Amino acid sequence: MTRLAAALLLGSTSLVAMQPTFSSRVEGVRIDVLVTDSSRRPLRDLTARDFVIRDNGVVQTVDLVSFGELSLNVGLTFDLSDSVAGARHAQLRQASRALTSSLLPADQLSLITFNQVVSMRCPPATTHGCIDTALADVKPSGETALVDGVFAGMTIGEREAGRSLQMVFSDGLDTASFLDSDRVLDMGRRSDVVVYPVVTKGAKPEFLEELASLTGGRIYEVDRNDELSSTFKEILDEFRFRYLLTYTPRDVQKGGWHKLEVRVNRSGARVKARPGYQGG
């Protein structure tokens, strides 16, 4: 199959096929980097001189370092299949309200839900009231098109300027997707969207764990009865205190897979970033 797309149900309109555009439109490379000390506290005073980036083993010159300067594009991608009915649905609403209250006025927030159908509930906007209303209006039901939902969320995040975080919640394995998980992993290799999945223990899809690693995010496992608000808040705080590095690749081939290494010249510093990117 040479052309794949995820179907989004936009309100009451018909199904629309969406195909992402990748970062080949950008000459520079962007890397979202989390830097913490030995106690996992973010290091906040780093400059370009503190970072060393190797692209396929070749040291690169960091053109720009941003920290806390860019607004966030936070995409919520929620499983609303039958297994989420009841207490878990209520927790998703509560956690989303807590997350919304922690956003800054310039931050954008969007919501995609999925069961056997992927639905755009709230397009990206700096007004955040849509989320709770949308979650209150939908009743969890049906099967789980997890891969399709993640694909749609990344497509939305890739289209927005600034720094894009996709938070995925699911409490089950995929049972209804049209797309193959390898297609989404390939998208992750090309995308600047950072993915943080939250999954129920015992139901951790391997592709979500790999996608989180490819994009520089981290997967969270929660018990079925765990409160989600603190987890959502922890993810948002961690993402906000990341550095955005930009460089123009030099002395490396343009195409193929590029292995990235990011180090910080500070004793005890811990670095988390995506392991590479797919060249155009």
76/198 same-domain check? yes
CATH at 130: 3.40.50.410
Q: What pLDDT does residue 70 have?
A: 83
Q: Record the tokens describing residue 112, joined without a space.
A: 């995609």
Same-domain pairing of 82 and 154: yes
Please give the pLDDT value at position 4: 36
Task: Give the Cα separation of 210 and 188 in Å (integer).
Answer: 9
Residue 206 inside a domain? The answer is yes
Whether residue 18 is contained in a domain is answered as no
Per-residue pLDDT of the chain (280 residues; tens, 9 = 90+): 323 344 444 433 333 344 443 343 446 899 999 999 988 888 988 999 999 999 999 999 999 898 877 899 999 999 999 999 999 999 999 999 999 999 999 999 999 999 999 999 999 999 999 999 999 999 999 999 999 999 999 999 988 777 999 999 998 889 999 999 999 999 999 999 999 999 988 777 899 999 999 999 999 999 877 889 999 999 999 999 999 999 999 999 999 999 999 999 999 999 999 999 998 7
Whether residue 224 sits in one domain with residue 126: yes
3-state SS, residue 64: strand
**pLDDT for the residue numbered 13:** 30
145 found inside a domain: yes
Provide the residue range defining the domain that includes 274: 23-68+243-279
pTM: 0.89
| 203, 269: one domain | no
**Position 119 in a domain:** yes
- The answer to whether residues 84 and 219 belong to one domain is yes
Residues 143 and 226 in one domain: yes
Count structural domains, the chain.
2
Residue 228 lies in a domain: yes
**Would residue 168 count as lying in a domain?**
yes
Instruction: Identify whether residues 247 and 219 lie together within a single domain.
Output: no
For the beta carbon of residue 67, count every other beta carbon within 10 angstroms. Answer: 19
- CA dist., res. 150 & res. 21, Å (int): 15
What's residue 111's pLDDT? 98
pLDDT in the model for residue 8: 47
Per-residue pLDDT at 16: 37
Question: For residue 14, is it within any domain?
Answer: no
Residue 280 is predicted with a pLDDT of: 75
Cβ atoms of residues 130 and 121 within 8 Å: yes
Residues 268 and 130 in one domain: no
- Same domain membership, residue 174 and residue 235: yes
Does residue 7 lie in a domain region? no
User: Are residue 221 and residue 97 in the same domain, yes or no?
Assistant: yes
Helix (H) / strand (E) containing 232 = helix 229-240
Question: Which phi and psi (to 5°) does residue 213 adopt?
Answer: -65, -45
81 in the same domain as 152:
yes
Q: Are residues 254 and 182 in the same domain?
A: no
pLDDT at 202: 79
